[in-house]
């Protein structure tokens, strides 16, 4: 066995040396290499082709992976930018609202406190919002709350750092008003459906659809001249002593996020301040 192993080694060495010397002689002596090359060249070509294909597939896979990763990164970037864009948009809108509120505040001849709506009660029984201003900010019960468009409601409950504002369309809300055009007095009341109705207005007042209704200042709760709403329908109740009408409030209760609380008192008619409000 051992002899065979060494015999094999010697044979291999002899063949190798023979090949080497044949190859080194030149002329036709390169034949051994050429003969082997005849066999291995096609195999080599095939192996190289397979290898290149495998490398190509692998490269394609790597590119696909990289593109996928890049795609995911871009998607998340787009998502992030979209959120950012929404935030910017929201900030711009807030900025606009606050500018309008500030402009109104500067025009009014009485002291005010700006408040942010922090909660809303929107059921049929009660319609109110909670603002982040309370007793510590000088807010008292029945303080009027306004928005740049006009009357919003009044404070019905005051806490240390918050106040509950009853909206104009709350079923238990009643505000002394008058038709701005004819100066005919009446009462604007909320109803369970969330609309505002005009009651107790003299029949000879000449009320019309499209008339603007403002606070009359009677009762001392609201200053005179705050826009309340537009007459959208007049109800004719035959021989009734008073006119009844439906109002579209000037304030969009569902969208209000900031209000002005009127902490000061004034006997002046505030309507010119609202009438002078620039349209935006």
Partner 1 sequence: MRLTLALALLGGGLAQTSVAPALRIGGVSPDIPLILAVFLGLSRGAEVGCLSGFVMGLIQDAAAGGFVGAQALTKALAGFAAGQIAGRLWVSDPLVQVPGLVLLTFAEGLTRYCLLQFFHFPASFGDLMLYVVLPQALYNGALGAASVLALSVAESWRSGSLWR
Which range touches partner 1 (CB under 8 A), out of 5-13, 102-110, 213-221, 251-259? 5-13
* Shortest separation between residue 7's beta carbon and partner 1, angstroms: 10
Nearer to partner 1, 35 or 140 (CB): 35
Neighbours of 163 (CB within 10 A): 29
Should residue 5 be labelled a site residue for partner 1 when binding is judged by CB under 8 A?
yes
The CB density around residue 64, as the number of other CB atoms within 10 Å, is: 10
φ and ψ at residue 104, rounded to 5 degrees: -65, -45
Site for partner 1 in 23-62 (CB under 8 A): 23-24, 30, 32-33, 36-37, 40, 43-44, 47-48, 51, 55
In total, the chain counts a number of residues equal to: 280
| Shortest separation between residue 67's beta carbon and partner 1, angstroms | 23
Nearer to partner 1, 18 or 73 (CB): 18
Torsion sign across C-alpha atoms 15, 19, 20, 24: positive
Min separation Cβ 69 and partner 1, Å: 24
Using the rule CB under 8 A, give the single segment among 7-15, 91-99, 148-156, 232-240 that binds partner 1: 7-15
Q: Is there binding between residue 95 and partner 1 (CB under 8 A)?
A: no
Contacts (Cβ under 8 Å, ≥6 apart) of 151: 144, 145, 168, 175, 215, 222, 226, 227, 228, 249, 250, 251
| Number of residues binding to partner 1, judged by CB under 8 A | 27
Query: Shortest approach of partner 1 to residue 35 CB, angstroms?
Result: 8
The nearer residue to partner 1, 56 or 272, going by C-beta atoms, is 56
Q: Is 20 in the site for partner 1 (CB under 8 A)?
A: yes
Cα–Cα distances in Å, from 171 out to 62, 72, 241? 68, 53, 23
- Burial class from Cβ neighbours inside 10 Å (0-12, 13-18, 19+) for residue 95 reads exposed
Q: Does residue 119 interact with partner 1 by CB under 8 A? A: no
231 sits in which H/E element: strand 227-235
268 Cβ neighbours under 8 A, 6+ residues apart:
109, 223, 224, 225
Q: Measured from the CB atom, is 22 or 202 closer to partner 1?
A: 22
Residues that bind partner 1 (CB under 8 A): 4-5, 8-9, 12-13, 15-20, 22-24, 30, 32-33, 36-37, 40, 43-44, 47-48, 51, 55
């Amino acid at each position: 066995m051992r002899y065979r192993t060494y015999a094999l080694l010697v044979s291999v060495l002899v063949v190798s040396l023979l090949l080497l010397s044949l190859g080194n002689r030149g002329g036709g002596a390169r034949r051994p290499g050429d003969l082997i090359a005849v066999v291995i060249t096609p195999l080599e070509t095939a192996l190289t082709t397979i290898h290149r294909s495998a490398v190509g597939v692998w490269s394609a896979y790597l590119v696909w992976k990289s593109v996928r990763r890049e795609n995911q990164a871009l998607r998340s970037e787009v998502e992030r930018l979209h959120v950012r864009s929404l935030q910017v948009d929201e900030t711009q809108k807030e900025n606009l609202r606050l500018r309008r509120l500030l402009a109104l505040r500067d025009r009014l001849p009485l002291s005010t406190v700006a408040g942010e709506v922090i909660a809303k009660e929107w059921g049929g029984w009660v319609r109110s919002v909670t603002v982040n201003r309370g007793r510590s900010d000088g807010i008292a019960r029945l303080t009027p709350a306004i928005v740049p468009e006009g009357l919003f409601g009044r404070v019905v409950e005051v806490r240390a750092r918050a106040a509950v504002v009853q909206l104009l369309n709350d079923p238990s809300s009643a505000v002394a008003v008058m038709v701005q055009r004819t100066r005919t007095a009446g009462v604007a009341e909320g109803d369970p459906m969330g609309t505002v109705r005009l009651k107790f207005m003299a029949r000879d007042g000449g009320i019309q659809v499209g008339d603007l209704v403002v606070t009359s200042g009677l009762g001392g709760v609201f200053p005179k001249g705050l826009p309340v709403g537009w007459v959208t329908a007049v109800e004719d109740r035959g021989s009734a002593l008073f006119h009844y009408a439906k109002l579209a409030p000037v304030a969009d209760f569902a969208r209000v996020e900031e209000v002005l609380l009127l902490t000061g008192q004034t006997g002046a008619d505030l309507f010119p301040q609202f009438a002078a409000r620039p349209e935006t």
